[in-house]
Structure 1
Amino acid sequence: MGIELVALHWIYIVFIVLIIGFMVKRLDTTLICILGIFVIAMVATGDLTASISGVFNSFIYAITELLSTILIISIIVAMSRVLAKTGINEVMVAPFTKIIKNPTLAYWTIGILMMIISWFFWPSPAVALLGAVLLPVAIRAGLPALGVAVAMNLFGHGIALSSDFVIQGAPKLTADAAGIPVADVVSASIPLVITMGVVTTVVAYFLLRRDMKRGKLQLVGTYEGEVEQEKTEDLLTMTQKRFFAILIPVAFILDVVAMALFNLQGGDATALVGGTSVFILLVLCIVAHKKKGLEETTNYFVKGFQFGFKVFGPVIPIAAFFYLGDSGFTTIIGDYLPKTSHGIVNDLGVALAAIVPLTKEIAVITLTGVGAITGLDGSGFSGISLVGSIGNLFGTAIGEGTATLTALGQIAAIWVGGGTLIPWALIPAAAICNVSPFELARRNLIPVVIGLIVTTIVAVFLI
């Protein structure tokens, strides 16, 4: 097919296998990714100085590509801290406390609220927004603390984070790695997200009800862990809190309307949500802190950026490596691939199509498996560049379904690593509900595995 596979292609494959192996062993992949970048640069250029510089340049490239995602998450976290500090978050969710009258309503109300808020705030801030207020209400209604944690976890870190329809941080990472538009990944993910979400939450609900009837679950969480929450201060009057509790959701609803009317997606949609969050943060700081408003604004931004870079710090070296598989190679290292090359990953896909009778069934099972494996590091985001690259490779090989394969890998990676199965990724929900993250992980295991199996089967029919 006119594709010349050179040493760079084989080295890239070797390091992908090594990265997956490290993830299976639950070892950190940062070192192996940096080594991979260096070796590829060294083989390509034959220049030690250029290869060392290539590692740094790859980080710059990755940060440049990820910057909008890091910024939006940092800004939203900063805003959520203001909401918690002023007590506006309590007023925002207060009307829903009247709805929660029994365990069933508690589970589904908390879950759906968590999903909606997580689309705009991301799950970790959403846990803080909802958990402290609705946990006591749910317990009074008869839903155990572990059930509250399951609901927040599956709907927030599962459905909302794996779909990420509004902020579009996850779809952008996978779409960039797969070399396709963000809109394609988002649209392809909708039926898969619905399938995974419905199956997982329904199975989890019935298992909860079963164990509640058997008396296996304690109503109140008793885990001896540290719960870090933003302390509410008396900074606003109740009238002001109510005003902002209405204004903030309206502002974000108007953002969604604007996205639909003006067809804003990807970076444009992220920028709209981010800009709205910045202005909300500024107004709240000025009104709540008055003379100290300017100083406090900076403090909130600093806390937000600390959170953002703490979350994405492990992602940058990994993303830097996987960007070498596509358009990033020429920018980072130079024009060292064969003239007929369309990027390392595309070349491998074409070569694979020529020698391997890859079926769509094998492709979807592989993507689910790889996605789940990459999630074992507890990040969820560190591996979605890999599944994007492999989705592109397999989609090229079978001649269709790149967007569906990429979306499937993204869903598997984030459901496993984004905070529903790996204990150290479950800490936000577990801490708020005062339950063991390991117990929460065990509670989620069966529903998530069943959901992944059903979603994989559905994906076969969508390609």
Structure 2
Amino acid sequence: MVELTLLHWIYVVMVLVILGVMIMRKDTIIPCILGVFLLGLAGTKTILGGTKAVFDSFIVAGTELLGIIVVISCIVAMSKLLEEIGANRLMVTPFKKFIKGPDIAFWFIGIVMLLVSWFFWPSPATALVGAVLLPVALRVGLPAIGVAMAINLFGHGLALSTDFVIQGAPTITATAAGVPVEAVMVKGIPLFFVMGIVTIITAYIMLRRDMKNGKLEKPMMDETVVEEVQETRGIAKFAAFLVPIAFLLDIVAMVMFQLRGGDATSLIGGTAVLIMIIICVVEYKQNALDKITQYIRDGFMFGMEIFGPIIPIAAFFYMGEVSPLQAVLGEGALPAGSQGILSDMGSALASVVPMNRPVAASIEMVVGAITGLDGSGFSGMSLAGSLAKVFGTAIHGSIPVLAALGQIGAIWVGGGTIVPWGLIPAAAICRVLPMDLARRNFIPVVIGLVVTTIVAMFLI
């Protein structure tokens, strides 16, 4: 076993500090930056080296995350274009005829939200699905809080925690855990769907019970909402046909050519950009050059707004791996034989603590959930991946399964299902109070987390 150095203990202490800050629902950027500075100070034994390490760690983390930031920015840019020309509504409108009652409305809206979120990210999908399908659901008797639950649980819960298409969540988790992205996605499938099925069915049963008992009053919005009728333009019809066909072809290509991870992400991102160019040229003609610049700028502003705070956080947790640490502090930062701070700590933990699968799974889930208390599920996934590496090494278990478990905890709590400050988009589009939506989701999500953790104990 490699002898633990000052670097190891600084890392462990700062992880505990960061967890404490998260429990207090405060942002963790300052302690993460401080942790990098202290690691740099210990590794180089100079203040100059510690200061340089802060910036260098940002570069390393930014390089790791750049692909995901770019693809999400491109997807959002395309979504803004589709919204402006009216194609987004046209793409969802045909589904209205299938909604005949409150039960169908809940599941139909949820499934549409799941599919749209996989391809367009939950934030733009919330506005799209909510604006189009909310009036229909209200007219067939589903309360606004039920629509908000369906949008929220299927989108910011199941879709964001799986993220099979854009692969933003598993990329961050897998990178921190030091395993391939496809390993987290494939090994995590049983956990992803146990969590989704248990949580959503529980939420649906509780919603129907309260509707039957008259505990949910019909909101005033039911009487006042008026569905917008917009003139369908030719370009909207063209885009509404082009976009699903293009992404369907992407899925076929992924299967035929076995594209995974970064290759699949590149295909999705490139498709989004090419679609933007085609639609802009057809719609704006000589102004296409200026308009596409506007959409790209808006998309990247969204991407940096979401991921800007994540880079300093990921910068610290990536330092637990060999390559990022050596990129920042140099080849001689770690002792001979070291497999990285996280792996070394896992080996040390296994030798002194009776670590087993139930303990590892429980701690992984609890820590993942705690990291989500700041309302940003992505900010905690680096820690979830890092701990998966520690615990997986300690118990000789499956690191990808543990990483997927931590990802589920971080996303379902922080992605926006049970913390009021994280589920504002779904609450706002349905005009319900965020606290009411959080209370509705709380019991189903907690039940889902507990059941998923128990299942994970047998899969690690």
TM-score range normalised by the length of the shorter chain: over 0.9
Deviation at 1:217, TM superposition (A): 2.3
Whether 1:460 and 2:440 are equivalent positions in the alignment is no
Q: 2:370 is matched with which residue?
A: 373
SS for the counterpart of 1:68 is helix
Q: 1:175 is matched with which residue?
A: 174
Q: 1:317 is matched with which residue?
A: 312
Q: 2:381 is matched with which residue?
A: 384
Using a 3 Å threshold, how does the CA distance of structure 1 residues 221 and 153 change in structure 2: closer, same or farther? farther
8 Å contact kept, 1:86–1:232: no
Q: How does 1:365-444 map to 2 (within 5 A)?
A: 365-444=362-441
Matches of 1:77 and 1:330, distance apart in 2: 35
Matches of 2:132 and 2:301, distance apart in 1: 25
Deviation at 1:79, TM superposition (A): 0.7
Q: How does 1:28-177 map to 2 (within 5 A)?
A: 28-177=27-176
Matches of 1:221 and 1:113, distance apart in 2: 25
8 Å contact kept, 2:177–2:385: yes
SS for the counterpart of 2:208 is helix
Matches of 1:87 and 1:232, distance apart in 2: 11
Deviation at 1:221, TM superposition (A): 6.6
Deviation at 1:238, TM superposition (A): 3.6
Deviation at 1:141, TM superposition (A): 1.1
Q: 2:291 is matched with which residue?
A: 296
Q: 1:282 is matched with which residue?
A: 277
Match of 1:271 among 258, 266, 275: 266
Q: What CA deviation, in whole Å up to 9, does each residue of 1:392-439 have, x standing for no partner?
A: 111001111111111000011000000111111111111111111111
Matches of 1:311 and 1:443, distance apart in 2: 26
TM-score (norm 2): 0.96
Match of 1:344 among 341, 353, 358: 341
Matches of 2:196 and 2:80, distance apart in 1: 28
Q: 1:4 is matched with which residue?
A: 3
Match of 1:241 among 236, 243, 257: 236
Matches of 1:197 and 1:363, distance apart in 2: 22
Deviation at 1:303, TM superposition (A): 0.9
Q: What CA deviation, in whole Å up to 9, does each residue of 1:97-153 have, x standing for no partner?
A: 000010001000000011111111110011122111111011111111111110010
Superposition RMSD in Å: 1.5
Matches of 1:78 and 1:431, distance apart in 2: 22
Q: What CA deviation, in whole Å up to 9, does each residue of 1:66-111 have, x standing for no partner?
A: 0011111111111111111111111111111000010001000000
Q: 1:228 is matched with which residue?
A: none
8 Å contact kept, 1:221–1:434: no
8 Å contact kept, 1:145–1:434: yes
The percent identity for this pair of structures is 57
Deviation at 1:257, TM superposition (A): 1.0
Using a 3 Å threshold, how does the CA distance of structure 1 residues 232 and 125 change in structure 2: closer, same or farther? farther
SS for the counterpart of 2:25 is coil
8 Å contact kept, 1:146–1:221: no
Q: 1:226 is matched with which residue?
A: none
SS for the counterpart of 2:416 is helix
Deviation at 1:232, TM superposition (A): 10
Matches of 1:81 and 1:429, distance apart in 2: 18
Matches of 2:283 and 2:145, distance apart in 1: 35
Unaligned runs of 5+ in 2: 223-227
Matches of 2:441 and 2:49, distance apart in 1: 47
Matches of 2:229 and 2:260, distance apart in 1: 35
Deviation at 1:187, TM superposition (A): 0.5
Q: What CA deviation, in whole Å up to 9, does each residue of 1:250-295 have, x standing for no partner?
A: 1111111111111111111100000000011112222223332221
What amino acid does structure 2 have at the position aligned with 1:254? L
8 Å contact kept, 2:235–2:279: no
What amino acid does structure 1 have at the position aligned with 2:398? G
TM-score (norm 1): 0.95
8 Å contact kept, 2:235–2:282: no
Matches of 1:77 and 1:296, distance apart in 2: 15
SS for the counterpart of 2:378 is coil
Deviation at 1:222, TM superposition (A): 5.9
What amino acid does structure 1 have at the position aligned with 2:374? D
8 Å contact kept, 1:364–1:456: yes
What amino acid does structure 1 have at the position aligned with 2:164? F
What amino acid does structure 1 have at the position aligned with 2:443? I
Deviation at 1:239, TM superposition (A): 3.9
Using a 3 Å threshold, how does the CA distance of structure 1 residues 134 and 249 change in structure 2: closer, same or farther? same
SS for the counterpart of 1:263 is coil
Q: 1:332 is matched with which residue?
A: 328
Equivalenced residue count is 453
Matches of 2:60 and 2:339, distance apart in 1: 19
Q: Which runs of 4+ in 1 moved over 6 A?
A: 231-234
Using a 3 Å threshold, how does the CA distance of structure 1 residues 114 and 46 change in structure 2: closer, same or farther? same
Q: What CA deviation, in whole Å up to 9, does each residue of 1:21-58 have, x standing for no partner?
A: 00001111100001110011001111111211110111
SS for the counterpart of 2:432 is coil
Matches of 2:213 and 2:282, distance apart in 1: 51
What amino acid does structure 2 have at the position aligned with 1:333? L
Match of 1:262 among 239, 253, 257: 257
Matches of 2:422 and 2:153, distance apart in 1: 13
Using a 3 Å threshold, how does the CA distance of structure 1 residues 99 and 383 change in structure 2: closer, same or farther? same
8 Å contact kept, 2:53–2:329: yes
Deviation at 1:342, TM superposition (A): 1.0
Match of 2:300 among 301, 305, 312: 305
Matches of 1:65 and 1:438, distance apart in 2: 36
Matches of 1:267 and 1:131, distance apart in 2: 31
Q: What CA deviation, in whole Å up to 9, does each residue of 1:206-248 have, x standing for no partner?
A: 111111122232444769xxxxxxx9997xx544322321221
What amino acid does structure 1 have at the position aligned with 2:304? F
